[in-house]
Chains A and B, each alone.
Chain A
Amino acid sequence: MSTSISKEQSGDGQPAVHTPAAFIAFAWTLVGVPLAYGLYQTVKTASSLFTG
């Protein structure tokens, strides 16, 4: 988000931004955690094919 991104001036005169690594990590975590939960649950279900 623009408010959380520090700004500086780029070579071509346009204001440049630096996207904080922490914000990128936060965004990936937000989508990664539910996906990991879904994967874990599905692997647990799938394992019954080999044990059931």
Chain B
Amino acid sequence: MALPGFLQRERIVARPGFNRWLIPPAALAVHLCIGQAYATSVYKAALVEDFGTSQTAIGIVFSIAIVMLGLSAALFGTWVDRNGPRAAMFTSACFWVSGFVVGGIGIQTGQLWLLYLGYGVIGGIGLGIGYISPVSTLIKWFPDRPGLATGMAIMGFGGGALVASPLSRQLMSWYDPAYDPATPGSVPSGAAVAALFFTFAAVYLVFMMFGAFIVRVPAEGWRPAGWDPASVKRKSLVTSESVSAANAVKTPQFWLLWVVLFCNVTAGIGILEQAAPMIQDFFRTGDTSTVAATAAAGFVGVLSLFNMAGRFVWSSTSDYIGRKPIYMVYLGVGLVLYVLLATVGSSATWLFVILAAVILSFYGGGFATIPAYLRDLFGTYQVGAIHGRLLTAWSAAGVAGPLIVNSVLDTQGEPGSLVAANYRPALFIMVGLLAVGFVANLLVRPVASKWHEPRHDDATTSPTPARSAVR
């Protein structure tokens, strides 16, 4: 299907003199909006009460959205690469905003299936397309600092939840005066949640369209002033060749990185999933914990900050030390920290907090660095599509992580009576997963030349293959 003219890639090729520092805010405008997906817990209790259903029935909404994120990123990745970031951001905005509208109508009319369809399926498609939409564009604008560039955007995804959580509480307290976010146990009405959904739809539409309309792609052969592509080629594992998405999934490198991402994300979710009860259980004596509920909520905030900061700091660091070494840190040092958390984490609160915070920074870093790792191995040609396919590892980890932790804790006792020792089996499973990821990362080698796309004879300065010239 032909795109309207204003969305076509040819219309957004930047002219000489365009300032590339306009691209990160375009990417952030999208990622800050779709990052709301991690703030759904704010109104979960309200939906459980409004629909008169179980926690699981409402929790499924988030699970559907994350599964749809992975599926849509994998399915539409090639379309995103072919049509460019404006078409992708525009489409993502339409799906994400429609998801809120349909979901809001579902809450308003008491139709749970509409919430599943709206926020879960339609919104989830917007999530997947939006997540990958700016990635390859950023990599092309910042060939000298791809880790920094993708780190900024993916930091925005983490930041989106930090914005949406307090904003949701504030808005719902306006829509339902009986709701007081400061009072424990206070729950907003379903109508307030529906109104919140409609408000988000309007605000996110404006923000995401702003991103879509300021984004540009660099002209063929463009490079930053004073930057020499040869300086990149000299680094091991970094290719100046191009591999298509269809071929990338046939290489062992793709699947090794799939395992790396899966293990890193699963290990991070292991802590994120249980953060608040976990810190209380680690410092429990009998029926009481030395960590109060408010302090436990503060711990979740600390983890969110480190998760977000890790996306930017570690991904930027990878530009200097290389992608493979930084994943050795995420997985190797992460493994040691997990062992320390399991064995001596309960000896002092400050030690527990530091260990968990650094582990979560590695979790964020793993997300943010993966696009640059893919660029190094497969080139920029279809890196967005390859990234989309790799995000199925996130969907799988989103199911596996909570499943591992919850099923292990279920065998250890009742919530509210667990202590540090009850967490050890789950934590050591995560240690094993990190070891698997560490080995997978060690096995990554440059992609075999048989997978490279044919090049123009004169294309010594541009890695774009002949095929892309006619697309």
Contacts and interface: CB of A to CB of B under 8 A. Distances in A.
Interface string A38-52: 110111011111101
Interface string B7-27: 000000011111101100110
Interface size class of B (residues with CB under 8 A): 35 or more
Contacts of A18: 17
Contacts of B207: 30
Given A18-B17, A19-B22, A24-B22, A42 B210 contact: no
A6 B17 CA distance: 10
A1 B16 contact: no
A43 B301 contact: yes
B246 to A, nearest CB: 34
Given A16-B17, A39-B162, A42-B162, A31 B29 contact: yes
Main secondary structure of the interface of A (DSSP, over half): helix
Interface in B29-83: 29, 32
Contact of A37 (B163, B300, B305, B353): B163
Interface string B168-187: 00000000000000000000
By size class, the interface of chain A is 20 to 34
Contact of B16 (A16, A37, A47): A16
A4 B134 CA distance: 22
B298 A45 contact: yes
Contacts of A16: 15-17
Given A24-B21, A30-B29, A45 B297 contact: yes
A28 B142 CA distance: 17
Contacts of A12: 16
Nearest to A10: B16
B11 to A, nearest CB: 9
A31 B28 contact: yes
A47 B163 CA distance: 17
Contact of A35 (B18, B32, B213, B304): B32
B169 to A, nearest CB: 9
Interface of A: 1, 5, 7-8, 10, 12, 14-19, 23-24, 27-28, 30-31, 34-35, 37-39, 41-43, 45-50, 52
10 closest cross-chain pairs (CB), A and B: A49-B298, A38-B162, A46-B301, A38-B163, A52-B294, A48-B298, A19-B19, A41-B166, A52-B295, A45-B301
22 contacts: A1-B214, A8-B17, A17-B16, A17-B17, A23-B22, A24-B19, A24-B21, A28-B21, A31-B156, A34-B167, A35-B32, A35-B156, A35-B163, A37-B166, A38-B167, A42-B301, A48-B295, A48-B297, A49-B298, A49-B302, A50-B298, A52-B294
